[in-house]
Amino acid sequence: MTMFYNRDTQLHDFSADSAYRSYLISRNQPAIVHHSGDIQWKRLCVAIRLTRNHIKGFFAAIHMALVADKMRRARRELARVRVRAADTPVLPDRRSVP
């Protein structure tokens, strides 16, 4: 570990860093076995989760497109009906005539 001796290093205790570094070097970590059943199971779970999220996103996008299309058609129909209602003369109601 490189130590730079300046004003900041006087305030820092490097003995704890050395101890922690030696602890990290000395501990015996188990090897990562990519062929074990646990790792394969975890990979399968991740693949299933990603597939499920992609399918959910796909259907959400389709749903939003359908809703937007339905709203667009409804607005167009309302605009068409309102224009016709404004252009056509209002006929008197014959039921109110004696």
**Cα separation of 90 and 37, whole Å?**
79
Question: What pLDDT score does 90 carry?
Answer: 60
**Cα separation of 93 and 91, whole Å?**
6
Q: In one letter, which amino acid is 80?
A: R
Q: Give residue-wise pLDDT tens across range 42-93.
A: 999 999 999 999 999 999 999 999 999 999 998 888 888 776 655 655 666 6
**Cα separation of 9 and 2, whole Å?**
11
Q: Give residue-wise pLDDT tens across range 1-55.
A: 555 556 665 565 556 677 777 777 777 776 766 677 888 899 999 999 999 999 9
Contact yes or no for 21/1 (Cβ under 8 A): yes
Look up residue 22 and give its two tokens: 């030696």
**Cα–chain-centroid distance for residue 82?**
41
Q: Among 56, 53, 50, which Cα is nearest to 42's?
A: 50
DSSP assignment, residue 28? -
